[in-house]
Amino acid sequence: MSVLVDRDTRVVVQGITGHQGTVHARQMREFGTQVVAGVTPGKAGTDVEGVPVFDSVRDAVEKTGANASCIFVPAPFAKDALLEAVDAGLTLATVVTEHIPFHDMLVMYHYARSKGSRIIGPNCPGIASPGKAKVGIIPNVVFRPGRVGVISRSGTLTYEIVNGIKEHGLGQSTCIGLGGDPVVGTSFVDALPLFESDPETDLIVLVGEIGGTGEEDAAEYIRHHVHKPVVAYIAGRSAPPGKRMGHAGAIITRGRGTAESKLAALERAGAHVARFPYEIPDMVAEIARAPGRR
């Protein structure tokens, strides 16, 4: 098993003929992902490095059996691209695009949920299960198959921590980059039960940041429902109140969403809390190699 993506994942890349779509479609294929189609209106009948291009997602699904999408469409058109993917019956859509208007994402979120589809992102690096499939832009070289699940709001911290885990001789079952916008399609609370029920995940790494209450919600869920060890880190401990730090969602308002409140909640929930990113791989290795564990 893996979480959300596996060897049967068949990806259509929306916006494949753009530079980013082309580059990352190639890297997804090098990772082992079945990239079966691309979509760019007006480019039907062409191909990108052997991947056939269609005018619509519905055509791509009918001709290739695609069941997941990776969206590289510019922000003004991302909503329509996502709605098209959902209407074509795709159950997973990774939205890499950043700067999507807040109200567009609200429409995307509720429409996808109403149709039984899951969004990863937007403004995210995507999802990867080493040895099986990747849908997104996480660098291939940081991964190694293993039994550590990773859920993160930060792209670059994800790369650093996943690579650190690999350098300790351990690997990942699945890694999900949730995205850094105020509204995302999949939250920590959405992802945690997937890893808790995954028999190939023994330990969960949670990487959060200031802003919002997602990490506090995750802590409450961990307290009552997660029995696997959790290693957590919250970025932004030194951020001044009211200062936006990098992500649109990483802003503290009226004293809520501080690093301190999130860290305290996770500690109360029994998580192993790191103060710095470089501590996480050491903590993961110590837990994974403790007597009685795999």
Active-site amino acid positions: 247
Q: Which residues contact 77 (CB under 8 A, 6 or more apart)?
A: none
Strand partners for 39: 14, 54
CA 257 to chain centre: 21
DSSP E strands in 16-156: the ranges are 34-39, 47-48, 51-54, 68-71, 92-95, 118-120, 126-129, 133-136, 145-152
Q: Taking the CB of residue 60, how many other CB atoms lie within 10 A of it?
A: 28
Q: What single DSSP character describes residue 141?
A: G
What CA–CA distance (Å, rounded) separates 30 from 130? 12
What CA–CA distance (Å, rounded) separates 75 from 210? 24
Coil, helix or strand at residue 273:
strand
Q: Are 122 and 184 in contact (CB under 8 A)?
A: yes
Q: In whole angstroms, how large is the CA radius of gyration of the chain?
A: 19
Q: Taking the CB of residue 138, how many other CB atoms lie within 10 A of it?
A: 27
Q: Are 209 and 154 in contact (CB under 8 A)?
A: yes
